[in-house]
Structure 1
Amino acid sequence: EARGGAGAPLRTVGGLTPLLRRADRVVMGDPFSRYVQLLLTITTARDLVVVDDGTATMEFVTQLARGERLVRWHRKGGRRGPRDLLLGPVSAAARRRLTPGAGRRVEVFSAMPVEEVPDGVTVTGNRFAWTRARFGPPRVTGGADLVGTSLVETGVVDGDRYLDAVRGLAGAHGATRYFAHRRESAGKLHRLAVETGLEIVRPELPLELIARRGPIGRTILSFPSTVVHTLPPALAGTGVRVTVCDIDPSWLTAHASPRARGFLSGVTGTARDVHRLARTVPAG
């Protein structure tokens, strides 16, 4: 476990090094993770598999296809800090390892849509067949649930604007529960609970499993995020409708990446089997 304290990452890398050097196949998660990138510089595996249903997967494949450096979408276009410069060689080495070549195969397994596929990369869609077979169908309630996002924590969306939007959505659709993103701060969630009356739920399992196990609202409200791509296939045949509220440009902070607006629109625009609100809920 690499998150067990200051020295844990180094101990984990040391423990994994012999295994990584012998492995023929390596399966990894978030390719933007500095930790994952560091591990990629160690392995000589001929078969690399990225398993990730996050929105970053869309950007990762595009950057790989264009030969660009690996940068998370909400930081793209910003100034490179000292940490970025220090770890730049590691990121560059990881990108080279994730580029298919002679004797090296790269596969991406994801529910996210991929438009630009690099030559030699195999993309396999996650249709959540195992999830549907293993869990549910859920008991569907008559109300609505709202899915949170960490766009405030990443500096993309203004906190007050976000609170106004959540309040408006909850009131307009009768939402009673708010499923928090794992990166949402305790302070923000407390404020949401106090000012909107929503029950804050911190899921211990992926939301797709929580939704399949139920109970779940007949309408699930979400801002542009992974769930607008993962929940529709996970809940196929249940009658649950996933509704997306776009991010109004006026909600973006002055520090938001120049890429933010277009990327968030793309997340919503490429989603299938979702309902888009006719207009965003007024904020402020």
Structure 2
Amino acid sequence: MSAPDGIPPADTLAFVESPVQLLNVLEWAHDQPHGEPQDGAGSVPAQRTSGSDLRRALPGPLDMVVVVLAPHDPMTRGQLRRMAELARDQGHRLRWEEARGSAAAPLRTVGSLAGPLRAARRVVIGDPFSRYVQLLLTLARPRELVVVDDGTATMEFVAQLARGERFVRWHRPCGGRGARDLVFAPVSASARRMLTPNDHRSVHLFTSMPVEPPPGVTVTANGFAWTRATFGPPRLTRSTDLVGTSLVETGVVEGERYLEAVGALAAAHGATRYFAHRRESTDKLRLIAGRLGLEVVRPELPLELVARRGPMGRTVLSFPSTVVHTLPLALAGTDVTVAVCDVDPSWLTAHASSRAQGFLSRVTGSARHVRRLPQMSAPARTT
């Protein structure tokens, strides 16, 4: 999927690096009332009408270009390509950037985006923790900045923004700072200032997560209206499905403990299918299929879309992850039950962040419309 040279001018630029981010940009765009009316200076009037009067007053489709900052991971790239096709089907303009394709790629990408970034009135981002996105924000002068969900990381981002802390992903150790962190610190600090609203710039959050934003940041709930309007409802099977996580790959949970927990959970609830996370390793998935006997499904789209398209089990099991917040919304009006099992503290690796257990507990405890399963005891080790 090659992109033409240059980016066409647009009122809104959106930057995504994962399929979930692109899905949530589509949800945000669907939530917009056909674009924003502007006065001669390009600002949004303070007073708005409502209902049919608003729809008549607004101009045409949202003037937006979505820039995909393509990652290396093959599974992520595959899902992004499928999501890009869906976005184009919805009439959105996309630019696919091989932003990490070579040593010169970042410089070339940033250079090509500098002009459009300075001209855009609104910038939409999916991952405020991304160094790539933080670097691009230093070039932007938006009057409006929108953050859409990148999963449960949104919860940690909002908490850190409210406390005025530097942005650190929850699963990374928060102790020392490496050389790259120190070099990049000024850019990160600049991004944090950009994400703080002031008299010249508004900051909005479009999220399905339970958050308490800092003063001045407005929140719009993501109810997955576009997903529900576009797909489904799904055909339901009598079986139980289990959703995988990348907790092993991110160094939070020990691999063998995770396999034992998956096996015990599947046996206790009769799960037959395992929906793999896009970042799960091939070796781990091979063990889940071979040792545990589960049918491993590697989705071509985010699970929210896969679930709406069906077929789907009447019960979906998950460890703490984004889907315990998003699937109940995407599957609203169906008879699917989403159930969540907490991570036992003894499953954590010795290198897991000191914040990991608290964050995972918060993910589970704040989930709405899910069934809480009793915490499984840590499987006994065999010698």
- TM-score w.r.t. the length of structure 2 is 0.72
Give 3-state SS (helix, strand or coil) of 2:369's partner.
coil
Q: d(CA) in 2 for partners of 1:280 and 1:244? A: 11
Q: Partner of 1:125 in structure 2?
A: 221
Q: d(CA) in 2 for partners of 1:6 and 1:185? A: 26
Q: Partner of 1:251 in structure 2?
A: 347
**Could you tell me how far 1:76 is from its partner in structure 2?**
4.6
**Could you tell me how far 1:14 is from its partner in structure 2?**
1.3
Partners of 1:51 and 1:109 within 8 A in 2: yes
Unmatched segments (≥5 aa) in structure 2: 1-96
Q: Partner of 2:105 in structure 1?
A: 8
Partners of 2:244 and 2:277 within 8 A in 1: yes
Write out per-residue CA displacement over residues 39-72 of structure 1, whole angstroms, 9 at most, x where no aligned residue. Answer: 1111011110011141110010111111100000
Q: Partner of 1:156 in structure 2?
A: 252
**Could you tell me how far 1:102 is from its partner in structure 2?**
1.5
Q: Partner of 1:233 in structure 2?
A: 329
**Could you tell me how far 1:282 is from its partner in structure 2?**
4.1
Q: Partner of 1:87 in structure 2?
A: 184
Q: d(CA) in 1 for partners of 2:328 and 2:103? A: 39
Partners of 2:346 and 2:378 within 8 A in 1: no
Q: Partner of 1:179 in structure 2?
A: 275
The amino acid across from 1:89 in the alignment is P
Q: d(CA) in 1 for partners of 2:332 and 2:151? A: 20
Q: Which of 110, 116, 123 is 1:26 aligned to? A: 123
Partners of 1:147 and 1:181 within 8 A in 2: yes
Write out per-residue CA displacement over residues 180-205 of structure 1, whole angstroms, 9 at most, x where no aligned residue. Answer: 11111111111211111111111111
Q: Partner of 1:71 in structure 2?
A: 168
Q: d(CA) in 2 for partners of 1:53 and 1:86? A: 25
Answering whether residue 304 of structure 2 is matched by residue 208 of structure 1, we say: yes
Q: Which of 214, 218, 238 is 1:142 aligned to? A: 238
Q: How many residues align?
A: 283
Q: Which of 95, 101, 114 is 1:17 aligned to? A: 114
Write out per-residue CA displacement over residues 93-126 of structure 1, whole angstroms, 9 at most, x where no aligned residue. Answer: 10011111111000010111103x1111011110
- Quote the sequence identity (%): 72
Structure 1 stretch displaced more, 192-201 or 17-26: 192-201
Relative to structure 1, is the Cα distance of residues 172 and 281 closer, same or farther in structure 2, using a 3 angstrom cutoff? farther
**Could you tell me how far 1:3 is from its partner in structure 2?**
3.7
Give 3-state SS (helix, strand or coil) of 1:75's partner.
coil
Pairing of 1:266-277 with structure 2 (within 5 A): 266-277=362-373
Q: Partner of 2:211 in structure 1?
A: 114
Q: Partner of 2:313 in structure 1?
A: 217
Relative to structure 1, is the Cα distance of residues 6 and 281 closer, same or farther in structure 2, using a 3 angstrom cutoff? farther
The amino acid across from 1:109 in the alignment is F
Q: d(CA) in 1 for partners of 2:287 and 2:168? A: 31
- TM-score w.r.t. the length of structure 1 is 0.97
Q: d(CA) in 2 for partners of 1:43 and 1:236? A: 38
Q: d(CA) in 1 for partners of 2:137 and 2:340? A: 36
Partners of 1:161 and 1:283 within 8 A in 2: yes
Q: d(CA) in 2 for partners of 1:241 and 1:7? A: 48
Q: d(CA) in 1 for partners of 2:122 and 2:377? A: 47
Unmatched segments (≥5 aa) in structure 1: none
Q: d(CA) in 1 for partners of 2:200 and 2:214? A: 16
Answering whether residue 201 of structure 2 is matched by residue 101 of structure 1, we say: no
> What RMSD, in angstroms, separates the aligned Cα atoms of the two structures?
1.2
Write out per-residue CA displacement over residues 121-170 of structure 1, whole angstroms, 9 at most, x where no aligned residue. Answer: 01111011121111100000001111111111111101000000001111
Q: Partner of 1:51 in structure 2?
A: 148
The one of the two structures with greater contact order (alpha-carbon pairs below 8 A, sep at least 6) is 1
**Could you tell me how far 1:232 is from its partner in structure 2?**
0.3
Q: d(CA) in 2 for partners of 1:281 and 1:140? A: 31
Give 3-state SS (helix, strand or coil) of 2:258's partner.
helix
Answering whether residue 284 of structure 2 is matched by residue 188 of structure 1, we say: yes
